[in-house]
Structures are given as C-alpha cells and as structure tokens.
C-alpha cells in the first residue's frame, strides 16, 4: 500500500507542476486539481492537506495550493521522468498509448535510471509532443555531466571520435540488417567526415534517426 500511496502523491505533485508550467506561482483550487486527476474534490482536498503537512504544498483553504520549494523539486523530477519515458518509447517505435505507459514507467525510475536514460536519449530538450523536458535537479545534472563524456548516442559524437557500441535500440528487422553488416554490441565505431566506420570498414552514411538509437561508450575524442 505504501508504494501505491507514494505513486498517488507523485501524481498530485506532478500535476501541480503542470499547473505551475502554465501559470507559475498561481494557487491551484482543489476542484481544478480534482478535475485534472479524475478524482473527487474530497479526495483532492484530503491529499492536498496531507502534502501540505509534508511540506510539499502551501495550502490556504478556499484559495488553493502552491508548490513549496521541496514540492517543486519533486514535481519537476516526476514530470522530467515522465517526458523522458515518452521520448524513450517513441524511439522504440512503441505502438501502444505512449502517455499512459509513460505514467506507469515514471514511477519505476530512480536516480540511477534517470541518469542512464538521460545519457541514452542524448539529453533531449522536448518530448514527442514538443513540450519542454524539465531540467534535471542539480545532483542528477552533476552525475550526467561527469559521465556524459563516456556514454553518448552515436549522433551526438564529434567527427574524429571513436568508441564501442553499448546498446542498439532497433526493431528486429533493422537489427537483422545491421547484424548482417557486422554491427552489434561491442563493435568498434568511429565518426569521420564521410560518415561512420565500423571496425575499420569504409565510412558509410547513417541517418540521424538510426544514429540516435545507437549508444556508444566513447574512448577517444
């Protein structure tokens, strides 16, 4: 039950952050919050009071609630993870409901996975709908920057850089095509002015879409 209740709190703070994106610092009435979450006004009031007691919200009865600094950090973190999950699913050519699935995935994120996902996706600025992806919190940003020089998506490395393929996020058919060309996890790859060279083969052109789905551990820049 504690895990599920934490998810409810996460959803409330994430939704409060969405209101903040649209109207910064404006109080959110419990009825508006209830409508956004699809719950009863009574349930929204109970949760708002609970989150206020935890120092996540400032709540004034009959006027509404705003995020505290602590609540802002948590809401921003959850919204960032949701939108990173949407970018990830879009890159996988996921055929289901991206938004609903991302809602479930965001609760499985911890700090380690957020760092890894940020690096894997090449630090995207926007989700598939064109909405801003919130910045990482300072602790996560520091970790990302400390490892960013080591692990990159192929399309983000500079000409002259080389490394080893760590992961391929392709469909089965695309994976088969690349495998026939001798490209797989562990393959050495370098970027030249003419394209990409795999294990010393002549450089070839790869679309940005494909290159963004190849994760490389950079050994030389």
Residues 142 and 157 in one domain: no
Tell me if 73 is assigned to some domain.
Answer: no
Residues 56 and 9 in one domain: yes
Domain that includes residue 54, residue range: 2-67
Q: Do 28 and 36 contact (CB within 8 A), yes or no?
A: no
Residues 62 and 10 in one domain: yes
Tell me if 92 is assigned to some domain.
Answer: yes
Tell me if 208 is assigned to some domain.
Answer: yes
CATH (domain of 117): 1.10.10.10
Residues 156 and 215 in one domain: yes
Residues 173 and 213 in one domain: yes
Domain tally, the chain = 3
Identify the domain boundary among 148, 182, 202: 148
Tell me if 75 is assigned to some domain.
Answer: no
- Give the C-alpha separation, 205 to 82, whole Å: 33
CATH (domain of 189): 2.30.30.90
- Give the C-alpha separation, 140 to 115, whole Å: 7
Residues 53 and 6 in one domain: yes
- Give the C-alpha separation, 88 to 108, whole Å: 14
Tell me if 74 is assigned to some domain.
Answer: no
Q: Do 136 and 144 contact (CB within 8 A), yes or no?
A: yes
Residues 48 and 105 in one domain: no
Residues 156 and 115 in one domain: no
Q: Could you tell me which of 91, 75, 55, 78 has the C-alpha nearest to residue 171?
A: 91
Residues contacting residue 207 through CB under 8 Å, at least 6 positions apart: none
Residues 176 and 204 in one domain: yes
What's the pLDDT at 1? 40
pLDDT tens, residue order, the chain (221 aa): 445 678 999 999 999 999 999 999 899 999 999 999 999 999 999 999 999 999 999 999 999 999 999 999 999 999 999 999 999 998 887 889 999 999 999 999 999 999 988 887 878 899 999 999 999 999 999 888 877 657 778 888 889 988 888 888 777 777 788 887 778 888 999 999 999 988 888 888 888 888 888 888 887 66
Residues 198 and 166 in one domain: yes
| Cα distances (Å, whole numbers) of residue 84 to 59, 96, 179, 184, 214 | 30, 16, 28, 25, 17
Residues 116 and 56 in one domain: no
Q: Do 48 and 59 contact (CB within 8 A), yes or no?
A: yes
Residues 87 and 143 in one domain: yes
Identify the domain boundary among 132, 148, 164: 148
What's the pLDDT at 221? 61
Q: Could you tell me which of 16, 37, 33, 34 has the C-alpha nearest to residue 25?
A: 16
What's the pLDDT at 3? 57
Identify the domain boundary among 67, 99, 116: 67
């Amino acid at each position: 039950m504690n895990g599920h209740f934490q998810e409810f709190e996460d959803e409330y703070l994430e939704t409060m952050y969405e209101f903040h994106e649209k109207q910064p610092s404006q109080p959110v009435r419990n009825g508006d919050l209830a409508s956004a979450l699809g719950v009863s006004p009574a349930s929204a009031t109970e949760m708002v009071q609970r989150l206020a007691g935890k120092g996540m919200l400032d709540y004034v009865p009959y006027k509404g609630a705003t995020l505290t600094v602590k609540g802002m950090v948590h809401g921003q973190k959850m919204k960032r993870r949701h939108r990173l999950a949407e970018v990830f699913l879009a890159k996988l050519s996921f055929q289901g409901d991206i938004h609903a699935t991302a809602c479930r995935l965001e609760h499985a994120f911890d700090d380690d996975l957020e760092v890894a996902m940020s690096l894997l996706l090449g630090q995207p600025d926007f989700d598939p709908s064109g909405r801003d992806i919130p910045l990482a919190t300072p602790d996560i940003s520091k970790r990302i920057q400390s490892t960013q020089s080591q692990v990159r998506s192929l399309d983000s490395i500079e000409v002259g850089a080389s490394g080893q393929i760590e992961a391929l996020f392709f469909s089965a058919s695309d994976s088969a095509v690349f495998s026939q060309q001798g490209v797989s996890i562990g393959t050495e790859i370098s970027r030249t002015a003419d394209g990409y060279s795999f294990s010393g083969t002549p450089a070839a052109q790869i679309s940005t879409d494909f290159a963004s789905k190849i994760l490389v551990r950079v050994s030389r820049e």
